[in-house]
Structure 1
Amino acid sequence: MKVITAYCNLRADRCLVNGEVVAERDPASEDSWFKQIYKKHALAYPKFYKMDVLSQAGYLASELIKKANPGLVDAYADDEIALIFANATSSAETDRRFKQSYEEAGTPSPSLFVYTLPNIVLGEIAIANKWYGENMFAVLPKFAPGFYLDYGQILSSSGSRALLCGWLEVTATGTDVFLFMVEERETGPAFSHDNLLQLSQAREAAAI
């Protein structure tokens, strides 16, 4: 049975893993919110500082899921974990910053240009973990459980044994990140429309 074995909700001021708060934003800190999480959990991946905000969010949520799911990396071959992500605004925030770089500075920023596609976050996570499985990033009007269920079934039938899925939206006005791990287990919350919808509602409630 496919079940959800871990999940992470990342909002503008709180980060939760499996429903438990693991970080709260310190408004007095000179560090960005994502850097606060990175330092609090003693992550060690210097490339993090060069990533755009979308990739930083995806990296952080995936690392926190791994911490909540000991043995995950060693449980699968490097091509058995598939990535299925989506959002509504693509890479709009980085696109805006890239446009600003040549409008204000007169020179386009190469470091921003490389992130002007939303699927770059998939590459960052894959490179950090040396995962070579299938991956997909879709742009959808809103969070849609059916998308993950349908596409997850396709990838599972073609050899993927685990799925890292999620909704990854980071803009100048808000942070809305919900990542979850799906594995074949005998117990746990089923990978179903109702359970994903319930987690999605919890994600939205966290914004209040």
Structure 2
Amino acid sequence: MKVITAYCNLRANEALVNGEVIARRDAGSEDSWFKQIYRQQELAYPKFYKMDVLSQAGYLASELMKRADPGIFADYADDEIALVFANASSSAETDRRFMHSYESGGSPSPSLFVYTLPNIVLGELAILNKWYGENMFAVLPKFTPGFYLDYSRILFASGSRALLGGWLEVTANGTDVFLFLVEEKVSGTEFNDENLLHLSQAGAVAAY
């Protein structure tokens, strides 16, 4: 049976792993919320500071899941974990910053240009974890559980043994990040529309 065995939510003011709050935003800090999480959790990956917000979101959520269960991905070969991510705004925040770098500085920023595609987060995670499985990033009007369910059937049928799914919507107006791991296990939360929607909303009321 395909089940959800772990998940992480990053909201405007809280970070949760498997439904448990593990970090809260300090409104008085000058650091961004993602930098606060990085420092509070004592993570060590200097490249984090060069990433765009989507890559930071994917990195943080996946690392927090690993912190909660260090062996979470240990049962799989490097090409057996598929990545399927989506959001509604693509790389709009980085695109705006890239345009501003050209308009204000007279030349575009190469460091920002690297992140003007939303699927760069997949590459960042693949490089960090040495994962070489199938991956895709879709742009959808809203979080759609059926998209992950439908695509997972194709991936599992073609050799993937685990799916790391993600919704990464990070804009100036809010933070809505949800990562989840789907595996073939005898126990866990059944991988279906209702449960995906329910878990995706964990912490939403408290955060807003």
* TM-score category of the 2 structures, normalised to the smaller one: over 0.9
Output the amino acid matched with 1:51. Answer: M
TM-score of the superposed pair, with normalisation by structure 2: 0.96
204 and 58 in structure 1: CA distance in 2 versus 1, 3 angstrom threshold: same
Offset of 1:184 from its aligned partner? 1.1
- The CA distance in 2 between the partners of 1:144 and 1:132, in whole Å, is 25
Counterpart CA distance in 2 for 1:121 and 1:40 is: 22
Q: Structure 2: which 5+ runs fail to align? A: none
Structure 1 runs of 4+ with >4 Å offset: none
SS at match of 1:181: strand
* Alpha-carbon distance between aligned partners in 1 of 2:7 and 2:90, rounded to the nearest angstrom: 22
What residue is the counterpart of 1:186 in the other structure?
186
The gaps in structure 1 that reach 5 residues or longer are none
- Deviation per CA, 1:81-140: give whole Å up to 9, x if none: 000000001000000000011111111000000000000000001111010000010000
Corresponding residue of 1:132? 132
Deviation (angstroms), 1:73: 3.1
Amino acid at match of 1:54: L
Partner of 1:49: 49
In 2: Cα distance, 1:206 partner to 1:102 partner: 39
1:55-98, Cα deviation, whole Å (9 max, x unpaired): 00110001111222331232110001000000001000000000
Aligned ranges 1:120-199 → 2 under 5 Å: 120-199=120-199
**Counterparts of 1:191 and 1:158, CA distance in 2:** 18
RMSD: 1.2
The alignment covers a number of residue pairs equal to 208
Q: Give the Cα separation in 2 of the matches to 1:202 and 1:74.
A: 26
Alignment map for 1:1-208 (pairs within 5 Å):
1-202=1-202, 204-208=204-208
Question: Aligned partners of 1:199, 1:73: CA distance in 2, in Å?
Answer: 20
Q: 1:203: how far off?
A: 5.4
Range moving further from structure 2, 31-40 or 136-145: 31-40
Give the Cα–Cα distance (whole angstroms) in 2 for the partners of residues 42 and 3 of structure 1.
Answer: 30
Report how far residue 51 of structure 1 moved: 0.3
Hey, what's the Cα distance between the residues in 2 that align with 1:96 and 1:19?
Answer: 33
CA distance in 2, matches of 1:64, 1:173: 24
One-letter code of the match for 1:14? E
